[in-house]
Amino acid sequence: MLKTISEKWRMEFPKIKNLKVHQITSDAQIIVGNGIKVLKINDEYLPFLSETHTLEKFPYVMVDMGAVKFMCKGANVMRPGIKKFSEFEKDSLVCVIEESHHKFLAVGKTLVSSQEMENMEKGEVIKNLHYISDKFWEIGKTLS
């Protein structure tokens, strides 16, 4: 499992002996180990939003404060709300950060590349897959 995550995320993880897999729904699991927490939804492995050191290794988009309440209800990221961003390819995992306190709000999958996005004025840029206050976030806070 860690090998799969390492390949998908293009980052190395130390060997972890005691991985615990918590079945949350029929298609979702939270995987917890020493220094790692991963949300698996279907075949997608997402860094859990509490894992700041892991999230910092991913590309990001920074959204304005007007987008925050929509993000925390599961809305996708729209182009007008994006203020700053790093480079990313289409279909990449990215973290969504809010602009005032630089807190991680969500993890999503990009619908366009950062180059394509630069030329957009409106439209969806990121599909929101895991966000602060979703059911996984609430359950994940109780797992260690």
Domains of the chain with bracketed CATH? 2-47 (no CATH), 55-131 (2.30.130.10)
Quick one: pLDDT at residue 144?
A: 67
82-105 tens-digit pLDDT: 999 999 999 999 999 999 999 999
Helix/strand/coil for 75: coil
Per DSSP, 73 falls in state: T
Smallest Cα–Cα separation from 101: which of 132, 136, 137?
132
Residues forming a β-bridge with 44: 41
pTM: 0.92
Task: Put the strands of the sheet holding 77-78 in their side by side order.
Answer: 77-78, 124-131, 104-110, 93-98, 60-63, 82-85
| pLDDT at position 45 | 96
Count of helices and strands (H, E) across the chain:
5, 10
Q: Which two tokens stand for residue 102?
A: 């630089």
The 10s digit of each residue's pLDDT in 102-142 is 999 999 999 999 999 999 999 999 999 999 999 999 999 88
Tens digits of residue pLDDT in 28-47: 999 998 878 999 999 999 99
Joined together, the tokens standing for residue 18 give: 């005691």
pLDDT at position 77 over 70: yes
Q: What is the dihedral of CA 84, 11, 24, 51, to 10 degrees?
A: -60
